[in-house]
Amino acid sequence: MHERAQHDRMADAIRFLSMDAVEKAKSGHPGLPMGTAEIATVLFTKFLKYDAADPHWPDRDRFILSAGHGSMLLYSLLYLTGYPDIDIDQIKHFRQLGSRTAGHPEYGHAAGIETTTGPLGQGLANSVGFALAERIMNAQFGDDLVGHYTYVLAGDGCLMEGVSQEAITLAGHLKLNKLIVFWDNNGISIDGAVSLADTTNQPERFAAAGWNTMEIDGLDIDQITDALEKAQKSDRPTLIAAKTTIGWGAPTKAGTNKAHGSPLGAEEIAGARKFFSWDRAPFEVPEDILEAWRAAGAAGASKRAEWQARYDAADPELRVEFERRVNGKLPAGFDGVIADYKKKLAADKPKVATRKSSEMALEVINGAVPETIGGSADLTGSNNTKTSQTDNISAGNYGNRYVHYGIREHGMAAAMNGMTLHGGIIPYGGTFLCFSDYARPSMRLASLMGIRTIFVMTHDSIGLGEDGPTHQPVEHLAALRAIPNHLVFRPADATEATECWQLALESRKTPSTLALTRQNLPAVRTDYVEENLCRYGAYELAAASGEAAVTIFASGSEIEIALAASGLLEGHGHPTRVVSVPCFELFEAQSDDYKAKTLGKAKVKVAIEAGIRLGWDRFIGLDGIFIGMHGFGASGTIEQVYPHFGITAEDAAKAVEARLHG
Ligand SMILES: Cc1ncc(C[n+]2csc(CCOP(=O)(O)OP(=O)(O)O)c2C)c(N)n1
Ligand SMILES: [Mg+2]
Give tens-digit pLDDT for 261-294.
999 999 999 999 999 999 999 999 999 999 999 9
Average pLDDT over residues 340-353: 98
Task: Give which of 553, 526, 528, 550 is closest to 613, Cα–Cα.
Answer: 553
The residue nearest atom 19 of ligand 1, judged by CA position, is: 189
pLDDT value for 2: 81
pLDDT at 1: 60
Nearest to residue 523, comparing CAs of 273, 312, 348, 331? Answer: 348
- pLDDT at residue 198 above 70? yes
What mean pLDDT comes out for the span 362-391?
Answer: 98
Residue 175 Cα, ligand 1 centroid: separation in angstroms? 28
Question: Tens of pLDDT along 118-150?
Answer: 999 999 999 999 999 999 999 999 999 999 999
Query: What pLDDT, on a 0 to 100 scale, did the predictor assign at position 259?
Result: 97
Counting from 1 in the atom list of ligand 1, the atom nearest the Cα of 160 is 15
Judge whether residue 29 has pLDDT over 70. yes
pLDDT computed for residue 164 by the predictor:
98
CA of 157, closest atom in ligand 1:
15
| Pocket probe mutation, ligand 1, options 15, 22, 69, max atoms within 8 Å of Cβ | 69
Give the separation between CA 117 and CA 418, rounded to whole angstroms. 12
Distance 197 CA to ligand 2 centre (A): 12
Write b or e for each residue in 422-452: b if 16 or more Cβ atoms lie within 10 A of its Cβ, otherwise e.
bbbbbbbbbbbbbbbbbbbbbbbbbbbbebb
Q: How many CB atoms lie within 10 A of CB 643?
A: 13
DSSP string, 413-472: HHHHHHHHHHSS-EEEEEEEGGGHHHHHHHHHHHHHHT---EEEEE--SGGG-TT-TTT-
Instruction: Please report the atom of ligand 1 found closest to the CA of residue 68.
Output: 25
Span 565-624, pLDDT tens digits? 999 999 999 999 999 999 999 999 999 999 999 999 999 999 999 999 999 999 999 999
pLDDT band at 474 (very low <50, low <70, confident <90, very high): very high
Distance of CA 1 to the CA centre of its chain: 45
Most informative mutation of 120, 124, 410 for ligand 1 (most atoms within 8 A of CB)? 120
The percentage of residues in the chain with a pLDDT greater than 90, rounded to a whole number, is 99
Q: For residue 163, which ligand has an atom nearest its CA? A: 1
Q: Ligand 1: which atom is nearest the Cα of residue 441? A: 1
Q: What is the pLDDT of residues 219-255, one digit of tens each?
A: 999 999 999 999 999 999 999 999 999 999 999 999 9
List the Cα angle 400/405/407 in 5-degree steps.
160
Query: Comparing C-alpha atoms, which of 517, 488, 465 is closest to residue 634?
Result: 465
Catalytic residue among 134, 409, 496, 570: 409
Ligand 2 mean position to 567 CA, how many Å?
A: 64
Q: Are strands 352-353 and 520-521 parallel, antiparallel or unpaired?
A: antiparallel
Protein residue closest via CA to atom 23 of ligand 1: 190
For ligand 1, atom 9, which residue shows the shortest CA distance? 69
How far from chain centre, in Å, is Cα 420?
A: 8
Mean pLDDT of the chain: 98
**What number does the ligand 1 atom closest to the CA of 104 have?**
25
Stretch 464-477: mean pLDDT, rounded?
96
pLDDT class for 187, splitting at 50, 70, 90? very high
Share of the chain above pLDDT 70, in %: 100
Residue 515: strand, helix, or coil: strand
For the stretch 403-436, pLDDT in tens is: 999 999 999 999 999 999 999 999 999 999 999 9
Q: Are 496 and 525 in contact (CB under 8 A)?
A: yes
Q: Which residues line ligand 1 (CB under 6 A)?
A: 31-32, 67, 69-70, 118-120, 155-158, 161, 184, 186, 188-190, 246, 260
Active site residue 409: yes
pTM: 0.98
pLDDT digits (tens, 9 = 90+) for 154-180: 999 999 999 999 999 999 999 999 999
CA of 214 to the centre of ligand 2 (A): 18
Q: Which amino acid is at 515?
A: A
What is the distance in A from the centroid of ligand 2 to the CA of 341? 54
Reported as a single tens digit per residue, the pLDDT across 493-538 is: 999 999 999 999 999 999 999 999 999 999 999 999 999 999 999 9
Mean pLDDT over residues 628-646, rounded? 98
SS3 at position 550: strand
- Name all contacts of 257-261 with Cβ < 8 Å and 24+ positions apart: 257/188, 257/189, 257/190, 257/191, 257/192, 257/193, 259/30, 259/31, 259/34, 259/188, 260/29, 260/31, 260/32, 260/69, 260/188, 260/189, 260/190, 261/28, 261/29, 261/31, 261/69, 261/190
For residue 445, the CA-to-ligand 2 centroid distance in Å is 23
